[in-house]
Amino acid sequence: QVQLVESGGGLVQAGGSLRLSCVASGRTFSSYPMGWFRQAPGQEREFLVAIRWSGSSTYYADSVKGRFTISRDNAKNTVYLQMNSLKTEDTAVYYCAAGTIRGSPASLTANYWGQGTQVTVSS
């Protein structure tokens, strides 16, 4: 069992940056691939990025490639999402997830979800 708690969301102007954090509890955190999703009002939840337990492999959706960076610190049971060059269309609730990496192109199939953190990008 893994519990996930996100933080770091907020209001930022377009072009700005935010860093989201996700702290996990549970002894098996380091064995799980982790990732981030987002959901804007009226839209389906969208996969953004995933990282393997070692941190050696990452997988990005085209919508955030080059602007967002995922990293993890297994010693701190934490995964991060650095978001740069934010756009108004990045406004959404951002969710941390733990699960398995599947598919081509690869994405994360989540077994555990955090409660989400709101990111609002103003023009």
Evaluate if residue 79 carries a pLDDT over 80: yes
Gap between the Cα atoms of 5 and 100, Å rounded: 19
Omega before 105 cis (within 30°)?
A: yes
Evaluate if residue 2 carries a pLDDT over 80: yes
pLDDT of residue 27: 66
Q: In the predicted model, what is the mean pLDDT of the chain? A: 94
Evaluate if residue 28 carries a pLDDT over 80: no
Gap between the Cα atoms of 88 and 4, Å rounded: 26
Q: And the tokens for 36?
A: 């981030």
Mean pLDDT of 7-13: 98
Buried b (16+ CB within 10 A) or exposed e, 67-86: ebbbebeeeebbbbbebeeb
